[in-house]
Amino acid sequence: MFSLSLCFQVDNSSLTGESEPQSRSPDNTHDNPLETRNVAFFSTNCVEGTARGIVICTGDHTVMGRIATLTSGLETGKTPIAKEIEHFIHIITGVAVFLGVTFFILAIVLGYSWLEAVIFLIGIIVANVPEGLLATVTVCLTLTAKRMAKKNCLVKNLEAVETLGSTSTICSDKTGTLTQNRMTVAHMWFDNQIHEADTTEDQSGASFDKSSVTWLSLARVAGLCNRAQFKAGQDALPILKRDVAGDASESALLKCIELCCGSVRANRDRNKKVAEIPFNSTNKYQLSIHETEDTNDNRYLLVMKGAPERILDCCSTIMVQGKEQPMDEELKESFQNAYMELGGLGERVLGFCHTMLAEDQYPKGFAFDTDDVNFQTDQLCFIGLMSMIDPPRAAVPDAVGKCRSAGIKVIMVTGDHPITAKAIAKGVGIISEGNETVEDIAARLNIPVSQVNPRDAKACVIHGTDLKDLSQDQMDDILRNHTEIVFARTSPQQKLIIVEGCQRLGAIVAVTGDGVNDSPALKKADIGVAMGISGSDVSKQAADMILLDDNFASIVTGVEEGRLIFDNLKKSIAYTLTSNIPEITPFLLFICANIPLPLGTITILCIDLGTDMVPAISLAYETAESDIMKRQPRNPFRDKLVNERLISIAYGQIGMIQAVAGFFAYFVILAENGFLPSKLVGIRLNWDDRSVNDLEDSYGQQWTYEQRKIVEFTCHTAFFVSIVVVQWADVIICKTRRNSVFQQGMRNKILIFGLFEETALAAFLSYCPGMDVALRMYPLKPSWWFCAFPYSFLIFVYDEVRKLLLRRNPGGWVERETYY
Amino acid sequence: MQVGTMDLVTLVVFGSWLAPALASAENADKDYDSPFEYDYESLRIGGLVFAVVLFVLGIVLIVTKKCSCSSDKPRPKAPDEETAVPIAQ
């Protein structure tokens, strides 16, 4: 809090987002401590001047400290993908426990002992749990995170990779995120006309007509009446990238003039400064007196710039097309209109004027006194206006457009003024052409604001002070009914309230920001996105994702990758779950039909943790089936990762065919060895009995325990290989959920690699000498490999037909029952 | 004493008659069992060769396709040139 200040200015951009330095004085102008002029804040920068004051708050009680407490006290909820995986785990656990308990009871009923029944229970649960799935999901997310890192999106939290894909609302900060955070000259008014300047970063925009003499005078005044300078040693850098010593507006003017008219320093050297009155808030202008470069002319040049209305008051004439004309009402009227228009665009407007001081009154060597003004400061010649704005970043309008066509709502939340915020929102596309706020409608129809039907206004701009008075229901109402919303003059606490409001309505919220004032919102959001280069460390800490090149358009990339990985995870899970059925059914038949065990636990693990891993991971490399950016964001309550339809396909349809394939191979081997299927039913007790060494088969041959067990383990190996063979077909059909495989193509090289490796591993496990001792897996005769081929083909044909029906009858029974 | 030598001669005569009979019985067993014998050694070798070939083919597929695909991909766009000029830092 200040007791004394002298031309004191602070830059509050790290706290409130205002890019313009604010002047401070000892007067209490406002109740709100953020608005009043006699308070400065911890961690903001002082730009110029001197002041003396007393400290009123320290540490946690400062505004900065309160933001820090707010941020650290927030609990981040679960990410959407974590919720989905939890839901999926519940389903799988339910099925596993249900089957396990059912068969436990069945086993007891059938007369097995307690211990045996418990062993069956455990075996069934092991077969039900997809052991490799956790590794698969982690690898898929990691691959996506790597892909995003290549596109300059650094993801700090692995699960956040998918969150952007589910996002339905983006709350974006303005300064530094949507805008470049540097003031740039946008418009000029001279010769009774508004001219547009080029605000793009690489000077690719349209240029204006520079031939007018008025422009030359304007440029001269802007260059001379300016205390900003380029820092030394930057001649090699392009003008826009150079560092400037001086305040934001003067830097903007300096760069503009340098770009248009050449070296300002040379111009200043030619027109030496003799005296100057710096800008102060009482006068609201800045004035300097120069010697002209014309050596024959001994007159002094007085140039002045400042607030437009003050400058106009000091002027009696106006320059039009290079000629001085007396100021008349018509010209004053057009000046007012221009000023209104530029102000309405949210730009900061400055007026410029000059005069040549008469030689007789002010001869060469005249001592100009700046404290006690001894020269004329009126009867000047008005030249024109220049207005400045912090322009939007180049990639932002496009990115906002893409987000909106992807069904994502974009809301601007800023600490800056409503008019600037609205202007930027219009420039960026958050408020689209043709959408009006209630104020716009009132102005257009010339009726008071209260008479406007709120339903007509699709857009609205809400001031922070109004936000304080809103109840939760009113806030929900606003968020629900308006598609284009701008919140201006919001405090960090209010940003948090806005995010919470959106989340209450069931949206998944992404917050983008770069300053300290954004950090509570960044933390609370489902995904916080911070700017990497210009962002503060606090915001980078609070965020889940960092845009390394500050490119807002990377958010579109994030959305695309997130949606893609969600789809691919579905496919991967469907693939992995399918092999559960051919793993469980041997156990079930073993218990119920008393046949020798068709598939052992070691072989189950060889499938889940061995051969199924690479194909499941390879599904993460699948390309999108249709344009994912044209879809609506998924509804977190209805569109689940794993739903009943996926389970029905995996367990009920494809899984069953796979189980039949396995059993077919099993029966074929036993039959070839002499045990016809009819003989097998009920043989279990004798088969597993070590003491029975003369078990007779269908042909009367007698088998010792060891011999039988070798045949049994050969059957396990064959069942395992059959599962591998049918999983070839499964991975190919899981590539697509709707398109035909022929449409999608086999461009996924990792998948083909997976198929080869899977088969190589299966062959290795079967044929490697020593496997019979180590894992009890035996070499298979080549003909037994082919047992499962017809079933593999059947799976392929079945699913292609299903997808064909699905495509032909959108919304029909097939889609409702089987499209996952 | 003569009984011992006579027994020995009878045993030798009996044995020499038995041996060829035994030998021929063994041969007959071999032919009889042949449908039950299977050459697992060559099967193992064949299977292992198949496994190695597939494995190498997979690696080759990944390595070469990755090279040719990355040369087809367009060069990544250079990041937009934007700087935030720090104000009076």
Spatial separation of the C-alpha atoms in residues A279 and A684, rounded to whole Å? 100
Buried b (16+ CB within 10 A) or exposed e, A155-176: beebbbbbbbbbbbbbbbbbbb
A769 in contact with B, Cβ within 8 Å? yes
**Ramachandran angles phi, psi of A24, nearest 5°:** -120, 145
Residue A659 and residue A805 in one domain:
yes
Amino acid B67: pLDDT: 57
pLDDT of B27 > 70? The answer is no
Spatial separation of the C-alpha atoms in residues A436 and A445, rounded to whole Å? 12
Token code pair at residue A294 = 């014309």
Q: Considering CB atoms only, which of A45, A152, A182 is closest to B85?
A: A182
Q: Which helix (H) or strand (E) holds A488?
A: strand A484-488
User: How many angstroms separate the Cα of B4 from the Cα of each of A555, B11, B15, B16?
Assistant: 108, 10, 16, 18
A69 in a domain, yes or no? Answer: no
Using CA atoms of A658, A660, A666, A671 in order, give the dihedral in degrees to the nearest 10. -150
Buried b (16+ CB within 10 A) or exposed e, A601-616: eebbbbbbebbbbbbb
A62 in a domain, yes or no? Answer: no
Chain B environment of A45 (Cβ under 8 Å):
87-89
Residue A338 and residue A441 in one domain:
no
> Does the beta-carbon distance from A202 to B48 stay under 8 Å?
no
Task: Report the gap between the CA of B55 and the closest CA in chain A (Å).
Answer: 6
* Stretches in chain A below the pLDDT threshold 50: none
Residue A5 has a CB neighbour count (10 Å cut-off) of 20
Strands A702-703 and A184-190: unpaired
CA–centroid distance for A432 within its chain? 21
A23 in a domain, yes or no? Answer: yes
Sign of CA dihedral A670, A674, A676, A678: negative
What CATH code is carried by the domain that includes residue A348? 3.40.1110.10
Residue A214 and residue A196 in one domain:
yes
A180 in contact with B, Cβ within 8 Å? yes
Spatial separation of the C-alpha atoms in residues A557 and A550, rounded to whole Å? 13
Burial class, A397, CB count within 10 angstroms (exposed 0-12 / middle 13-18 / buried 19+): middle
Amino acid A453: pLDDT: 76
Structure-token match 């019985």, residue found: B25
A791 in a domain, yes or no? Answer: yes
Instruction: List the one residue out of A268, A273, A278, A336 whose CA is nearest residue A305.
Output: A278
**A–B CB contacts, 8 A cutoff, strictly below:** 106
> Does the beta-carbon distance from A767 to B55 stay under 8 Å?
no
Residues A27, A60, A173, A550: which is the catalytic one? A173
Helix, strand, coil shares of chain A as percentages rounded to 5? Answer: 50, 15, 35
Question: At residue A618, what is the residue type?
Answer: S
Give the predicted TM-score (pTM) of the model: 0.79
Token code pair at residue A8 = 């004191």
Residue A337 and residue A437 in one domain:
no
Is A173 tagged catalytic?
Answer: yes
Residue A399 and residue A543 in one domain:
yes
Residue A449 and residue A519 in one domain:
yes
Domain with A440, as residue range(s), is 164-179+393-550
Residue A212 and residue A289 in one domain:
yes
Question: At residue A112, what is the residue type?
Answer: Y
> Does the beta-carbon distance from A551 to B79 stay under 8 Å?
yes
Amino acid B80: pLDDT: 38
A4 in a domain, yes or no? Answer: no
A98 in a domain, yes or no? Answer: no
Q: Does the predicted interface ipTM exceed a cut of 0.95? A: no
Chain A environment of B86 (Cβ under 8 Å):
243
Burial class, A627, CB count within 10 angstroms (exposed 0-12 / middle 13-18 / buried 19+): exposed
Is the CB of residue A534 less than 8 Å from the CB of residue A181? yes
Minimum Cα–Cα distance from A245: chain B residue: B88
Residue A425 has a CB neighbour count (10 Å cut-off) of 29
Give the end of a domain, one of A354, A389, A424.
A389
Q: Mapped to the 3 state alphabet, what secondary structure does A342-373 carry? A: HHHCCCEEEEEEEEEECCCCCCCCCCCCCCCC
Amino acid B81: pLDDT: 37
* Beta pairing partners, A4: A52
Chain A environment of B89 (Cβ under 8 Å):
45
Q: At A513, is the secondary structure helix, strand, or coil?
A: strand
DSSP state of A271: S
Amino acid A456: pLDDT: 77
Q: Mapped to the 3 state alphabet, what secondary structure does A3-56 carry? A: EEEEEEEEECCCCCCCCCCEEECCCCCCCCCCCCCCCCCCCCEEEEEEEEECCC
Minimum Cα–Cα distance from A392: chain B residue: B82
Q: In this predicted model, what pLDDT tens digit does every residue of A652-687 receive, in sequence order? A: 999 999 999 999 999 999 999 999 999 899 998 889
Residue A376 and residue A422 in one domain:
no
Give the end of a domain, one of A550, A574, A601.
A550
Chain A environment of B65 (Cβ under 8 Å):
749
Amino acid B74: pLDDT: 43
Q: Considering CB atoms only, which of B43, B57, B81 is closest to A201?
A: B81
Residue A353 and residue A488 in one domain:
no
Query: What is the residue-wise DSSP string for A696-757?
Result: E-TTS-EE-HHHHHHHHHHHHHHHHHHHHHHHHHHHHHHT-SSS-HHHH-S--HHHHHHHHH
A112 in a domain, yes or no? Answer: no
Spatial separation of the C-alpha atoms in residues A409 and A170, rounded to whole Å? 6
CA–centroid distance for A632 within its chain? 16
Q: Considering CB atoms only, which of A151, A182, A756 is closest to B57?
A: A756
A85 in a domain, yes or no? Answer: no
- Counting Cα atoms < 13 Å in the Cβ hemisphere of A517 gives 30
Residue A533 and residue A641 in one domain:
no
Spatial separation of the C-alpha atoms in residues A11 and A563, rounded to whole Å? 40
Spatial separation of the C-alpha atoms in residues A752 and A736, rounded to whole Å? 15
Spatial separation of the C-alpha atoms in residues A786 and A713, rounded to whole Å? 18
What CATH code is carried by the domain that includes residue A671? 1.20.1110.10
- Counting Cα atoms < 13 Å in the Cβ hemisphere of A697 gives 18
Residue A701 and residue A682 in one domain:
yes
Spatial separation of the C-alpha atoms in residues A179 and A638, rounded to whole Å? 37
Strands A459-463 and A409-413: unpaired
Mean pLDDT for B39-46 is 91
Residue A140 and residue A234 in one domain:
no
Spatial separation of the C-alpha atoms in residues A446 and A519, rounded to whole Å? 41
Task: Report the gap between the CA of A199 and the closest CA in chain B (Å).
Answer: 12
Give the end of a domain, one of A550, A580, A599.
A550
Spatial separation of the C-alpha atoms in residues A148 and A556, rounded to whole Å? 11
Instruction: List the one residue out of A413, A391, A403, A285 whose CA is nearest residue A347.
Output: A391
Count of domains observed in chain A: 4
Amino acid B54: pLDDT: 95
Amino acid B70: pLDDT: 46
A602: Cβ–Cβ under 8 A, 6 or more apart, which residues?
Answer: A716, A775, A776, A777
Query: What is the residue-wise DSSP string for A62-108?
Result: SHHHHHHHHHHHPPP---HHHHHHHHHHHHHHHHHHHHHHHHHHHHH
